[in-house]
Structure 1
Amino acid sequence: MADSSFPGWHGTTIVAVRKGSQTVIAGDGQVSLGQTVIKGSARKVRRLSPGGHDVLVGFAGSTADAFTLLERLETKLEATPGQLQRAAVDLAKDWRTDKYLQKLEAMLLVSNGPELYVITGAGDVLEPEHDVAAIGSGGMYALAAARGLMESDLPPEEVARKAMAIAADICVYTNGNLTVESISVD
């Protein structure tokens, strides 16, 4: 049982936008403990390149838990090069059934360009509609903003940046210090 007197970690907004031949994942840098900002420049978006196949990953939740999941995902990607969906499903299955992994508190947004998935500890591998996905404390604000901006002529990186700026204006656990990674579909 969690100690209710401990304030708990909050933070992170990650948004992914797929538009045209480009996919962008952007994440803020804020990590908060209760009402205190502990760090404003955390890097929550990464590029993995197992077997020469680039995959973008954004994570929300406990950092140690997310890093554990990133390592597991990278192992799955090395075992199934170029097969993001299979690696994501294998990770979600392990996450749901392994007694150690079940305790991990994080979510992942992953993309290899043409594919985009949200992976959760409940065993979900979700492919979002409308080519936009978001996770984290400000995720729903970023999602709504990005969906509204998708009909504009803005390139995907600008959609992601503007969506994150809107989320940062609304969510106290989100800041404007962004890490942005992009990947193009050939």
Structure 2
Amino acid sequence: MNERDNSHGLVQWHGTTIIGVRKGGKTVIAGDGQVSMGNTVMKPNARKVRRLGEGGKVVAGFAGATADAFTLFERLEKKLEAYRSAKGGGQLLRAAVELAKDWRTDKYLRNLEALMIVADADTLLVLTGNGDVLEPEGEVAAIGSGGNYALSAALALVDYEDDAEVIARKAMAVAARVCVFTNDRVTVETV
């Protein structure tokens, strides 16, 4: 996460690398641990990927302002709870769509600066503050300052490697070597 001056003149923290990979019946979200302010590493072992919902059946990773991401994690958990009793699956998709609606229209949420990758056993999604709920083509998604590096590496590996976790870890290693706001202290969660 690196600093950024917003319209209010406040320093905010953003940037990171998060990748999601679905392959072989497994979904993995991985993220680095570096928190930067300008060109200084403030913390090397932040946890930007975590389990959400009842029983931790949903995994989410964020790139963006830290406080904003925690707000979004909390809101997504509330949406997951609201759709928990929904029959026929789709709990994560429904919760994500409702969160994206709120994020786009709510006066407070609209100012949050973050991106999220969320997944359960059946679904991998990217959520944005523009109201987007995107299902990535090819079952690979990446966000953050090193996201394009990780995405490129994962796409190059996906046809040759069968294990989603191996793909995610190798892609994160590439991003850590190229992006100055990404380190090699990776958190991995699998559903």
- The TM-score normalised by the length of structure 2 is 0.90
Deviation of the 1:20 alpha carbon: 1.2
Correspondence 1:1-186 to 2 at 5 A:
1-3=7-9, 8-50=12-54, 52=55, 54-81=57-84, 82=89, 83-183=91-191
**Using the alignment, how far apart are the partners of 2:161 and 2:56 within structure 1?**
29
Are the counterparts in 1 of residues 18 and 30 from structure 2 also a CA contact under 8 Å?
yes
Instruction: State the Cα deviation string for residues 23-47 of structure 1 (Å, max 9, x = none).
Output: 0000000011111111100000001
After superposing on structure 2, the runs of 4+ consecutive aligned residues of structure 1 that deviate more than 3 Å are none
Q: Structure 2: which 5+ runs fail to align?
A: 1-6
Instruction: State the Cα deviation string for residues 56-106 of structure 1 (Å, max 9, x = none).
Output: 000110111000000000000000015111100000000000000011111
**Using the alignment, how far apart are the partners of 1:142 and 1:61 within structure 2?**
17
Q: How many residues are treated as equivalent by the alignment?
A: 180
RMSD of aligned Cα (Å): 1.3
Are the counterparts in 2 of residues 14 and 59 from structure 1 also a CA contact under 8 Å?
yes
Deviation of the 1:11 alpha carbon: 3.1
Deviation of the 1:10 alpha carbon: 4.0
TM-aligned CA distance change 1:21 to 1:97, over 3 Å: same
| SS of structure 2 residue aligned to 1:168 | helix
**Using the alignment, how far apart are the partners of 2:177 and 2:140 within structure 1?**
20
**Using the alignment, how far apart are the partners of 2:53 and 2:80 within structure 1?**
9
Deviation of the 1:53 alpha carbon: 6.2
| SS of structure 2 residue aligned to 1:123 | coil
Instruction: State the Cα deviation string for residues 139-173 of structure 1 (Å, max 9, x = none).
Output: 01100100110011341111000000000110000
126-135 vs 6-15, greater mean Cα deviation: 6-15
| SS of structure 1 residue aligned to 2:181 | coil
Counterpart residue identity of residue 73, structure 1: L
Are the counterparts in 2 of residues 8 and 34 from structure 1 also a CA contact under 8 Å?
no
Identity %: 64
Are the counterparts in 2 of residues 18 and 113 from structure 1 also a CA contact under 8 Å?
no
Are the counterparts in 2 of residues 10 and 173 from structure 1 also a CA contact under 8 Å?
no
Counterpart residue identity of residue 180, structure 2: V
**Using the alignment, how far apart are the partners of 2:38 and 2:142 within structure 1?**
22
